[in-house]
Chain A
Amino acid sequence: MTDKEQNDILEQWLAQYKSLIFKIVRSYAFTAMDREDLFQEISLQVWRSVPSFRGECAVTTWLYRVSLNTAIRFSQRERKRSENRADLNDSHQILLEADAHHDQRLEWLYGEISKLNAIDKSITLLMLEDFSYREMASIVGITETNIGVRINRIKKLLIEKSKKHDLHGV
Chain B
Amino acid sequence: MTDLILARRRMVVFLALCVLLLGLLTTQARSPDRRLAGPLGTAILAVLAPVQTGMAVAAQSAADAWSRYLAIGRLRVENVRLRAEVEELSRQVGSLREEALATRRLERLLAVRRSLPGRTLAARVVARDSARWFSTILIDRGTRDGVRRNDPVVSADGVVGRVIEATATSARVLLISDSRSAVGVLIQRSRYAGVIEGKGGGTVQLNYLSRAADVQDGDVLVTSGLGGVFPKGLVVGTVMHIVREEGALVQTAVVQPAAPLDRLEEVLVIVGPR
Partners in one complex: no
